[in-house]
Amino acid sequence: MWPDRHDAIATVCLSGTLEDKLAAAAGAGFAGIELFEPDLLNSVLPPSEVRRRCAGLGLSIDLYQPFRDLDSTDPERFTANLRRAEHKFAVMEALGADTLLVCSSVAQDAVADDDRLAEQLHALAERAGARGLRIAYEALAWGRHVHTYQRSWRVVARAGHPALGLCLDSFHILSRGSDPAGIAAIPGEKLFFLQLADAPHLSMDVLQWSRHHRLFPGQGSFDLPAFLRPVLAAGYRGPLSLEVFNDVFRQADPAGTAVDARRSLLALAEATAAGGAGTDPVAVPAPELGGYAFVELTAGSSAAATLADTLSALGFAHTGRHRSKPVDRWEQGAARILVNARGGEPSIGAIGVESEDPPTSALRAERLLAPILPRHHGPAEADLSAIAAPDGTSLFLCRTNAPEAGGWTGDFVPTGMAAATGIGVTGVDHVGLTQPFDHFDEAALFYRAVLGLRPGEPGEFAAPYGLIRGRAVNDERRRTRIALTVSLLRRGDWAPRVTDPQYVALRTDDVVTAARAARAAGAALLAIPDNYYADLEARLGLPAELLERLRAAGVLYDTDGDGAYLQVCTELLGGRLFLQLVQRVGDYDGYGWPDAPVRMAAHRRHRIALAGAEVAQPLA
């Protein structure tokens, strides 16, 4: 992007009052806003005071929006619409906003004839220009007559007024499948404004799609870099402005949403520059990740003892104790689990990821607005960089056994026990993290932008207590995988904790043997219903002997076209935490989601049995 890139955000992207929104936008480092009219109307701040406050926060008001249904086949109504516009011009003068967004009309009386429409836009532009203001005309995807940028440009060109130009919105253009390449041929000075939004591919009414499901760039399925390049090639140098209508963002803390939004622009600018357009504001490529240095489980002291027993039964060796903290290190194969006894409800507190260059990973994270965690370490202990993921999990950037940066094993005093082969766990396959409702789309972008992981396609499954959406991120070589899930609707009072689990999946080459050994050593593995295996037989016709081995070991078995995924789970180890032994056969690349409902029901059953009840109670 060009050096003085100006990042802006429409106030409609954010939740709260105008004051909340301005504070959030400024806090995330935006330089400007689009002021969405209802946000002004709801506010007691007079326009002049909004201007003053924005200036104090370092925000310009780049666009006032929207003005709807200007043109009319009814001359009297058109005159009334011009009068209405004059009112808005006066507001804009007080705001210090020089550009008004005018949407293509959706009304019955919209003008179909290009000449007449150009004439009416010219009349408006003449009035705007007299006040030093500009009109940015936008083709809504569902405009009555004008719904492509090609047509809006034809009309604007025909009007030929210096105060009249185009507003381009990636959603309106990409949702209709229009090719943005033609934008490059439009003179840059006629591109007055650029609105950016991503969206998932959905097969639904485009207006509803636009009003409820837009996302920030990089969170959906549109190719935003490919959209942005012809706009830059045309010579556009105005604000890069986000205009995202999203049901979740509308109700989430705006400070977090604004950071998520700004991060999406930084990542978009980087990706666009990678195609040869402009300069890269991040300028720090993500170092390659090489899997898990460790996963840290936190728990109160009695639950920590349960965790220790379980790890022991799963074949882990207690190999170290932290020099200054109540943290034990357990190892098996390449899997390292830390148990921190200073926690509360058992959960995954921290993840150590192997970076080939931890300081560079940390620098990139900082440039991409990841919250940098304060460092607490004793003398002679490692100075590890750590950042907070959107769900609050700490991510440590490690280079295990490195003497310079990222080394951490020296912080542990060896117990004398060595990591053994145990029951055959070879490493950590992935970590499963249920996301807070408001942070699911943010999380996928976070891992992608900050750590350079790749989000997979979103999935959905029906669990006993409601629908769950899932999306995984992984590095190219599949050494670092994180499975993100979220309840599709925020859970009601009825739903139990089994719907928001956290787990560590441990890789084995033979899960049946591993499970058998773990069970023999006293691990509390989850009982799977016989009904599940009867269906497996019906569906897949597995050899009877294999089926019996799966059944006896309580292994869940999923297949896709490329292979199979075998998993066995422990009971919940207090709270919402469990461990999983997994085996990937062939090129299976998923996370066993089709079997998650069986697992959740089994966890729930176990909880109910512990409570001595037959039927679930709310909040149990």
Binding to its own copies (CB under 8 A): which residues in 392-431?
none
* Part in contact with its own copies (CB under 8 A); list of ranges 43-51, 55-63, 188-196, 516-524: 43-51
User: What is the size of the binding site for its own copies (CB under 8 A)?
Assistant: 73
**Applying CB under 8 A, which of residues 2, 46, 305, 342 lies at the interface with its own copies?**
46
Cβ closer to its own copies: 251 or 279?
A: 251
Tally of residues, the chain = 620
Structure tokens at 160: 């030929």
Q: How far apart are CB 361 and its own copies at their closest, in Å?
A: 30
**Window 350 to 389, contacts with its own copies (CB under 8 A):** none
Cβ closer to its own copies: 20 or 280?
A: 20
| 518, 309 Cβ separation under 8 angstroms | no
The Cα 356–Cα 287 span in angstroms is 6
The Cα 607–Cα 329 span in angstroms is 29
Cβ closer to its own copies: 20 or 309?
A: 20
**CB environment 174-205: b (16+ within 10 A), e (fewer):** bbeebebeebeebeeebbbbbbbbbbeeeeee
**Applying CB under 8 A, which of residues 88, 161, 214, 399 lies at the interface with its own copies?**
88
DSSP string, 361-421: HHHHHHHTTPPBPPP---TTS---EEEE-TTS-EEEEE-TT-SSSS--GGGEEE-S---B-
For residue 410, which amino acid is it? Answer: G
Cβ closer to its own copies: 1 or 23?
A: 23
Q: How far apart are CB 90 and its own copies at their closest, in Å?
A: 8
Q: How far apart are CB 482 and its own copies at their closest, in Å?
A: 23
Q: How far apart are CB 351 and its own copies at their closest, in Å?
A: 24
Q: How far apart are CB 45 and its own copies at their closest, in Å?
A: 8
For residue 487, which amino acid is it? Answer: S
Candidates 392, 368, 365; CA nearest to 384 is 365
**Window 224 to 263, contacts with its own copies (CB under 8 A):** 247-248, 250-254
* Part in contact with its own copies (CB under 8 A); list of ranges 80-88, 224-232, 509-517, 573-581: 80-88
**Applying CB under 8 A, which of residues 492, 522, 543, 586 lies at the interface with its own copies?**
492
Instruction: Report whether 138 belongs to an annotated binding site.
Output: yes
Cβ closer to its own copies: 189 or 535?
A: 535
| 473, 485 Cβ separation under 8 angstroms | no
> CB neighbours of 129 closer than 8 A, spacing ≥ 6?
161, 162, 163
Q: How far apart are CB 94 and its own copies at their closest, in Å?
A: 10
Cβ closer to its own copies: 509 or 535?
A: 535
Cβ closer to its own copies: 247 or 356?
A: 247
Instruction: Report whether 19 belongs to an annotated binding site.
Output: no
Instruction: Report whether 195 belongs to an annotated binding site.
Output: yes
Instruction: Report whether 345 belongs to an annotated binding site.
Output: no
The Cα 372–Cα 366 span in angstroms is 7
Cβ closer to its own copies: 319 or 580?
A: 580
- How many C-beta neighbours within 10 Å does residue 57 have? 14
Q: How far apart are CB 44 and its own copies at their closest, in Å?
A: 5
* Part in contact with its own copies (CB under 8 A); list of ranges 295-303, 313-321, 489-497, 561-569: 489-497
Cα atoms in the 13 Å half-sphere on the side-chain side of 46: 5
| 362, 451 Cβ separation under 8 angstroms | no
Q: Cα torsion for 369, 64, 249, 255, to the nearest 10°? A: 40
**Window 524 to 553, contacts with its own copies (CB under 8 A):** 527, 529-532, 534-535, 537-539, 541
H-helix or E-strand containing 567?
strand 563-569
Per-residue contact track with its own copies, 437 to 456, x per CB under 8 A? xx------------------
Cβ closer to its own copies: 524 or 601?
A: 601
Sign of the torsion formed by the C-alpha atoms of 310, 312, 315 and 319: positive
| 8, 31 Cβ separation under 8 angstroms | yes
210 near its own copies, judged by CB under 8 A: no
| Residues annotated in a binding site | 138, 169, 195, 243
| Residues annotated in a binding site for a divalent metal cation | 138, 169, 195, 243
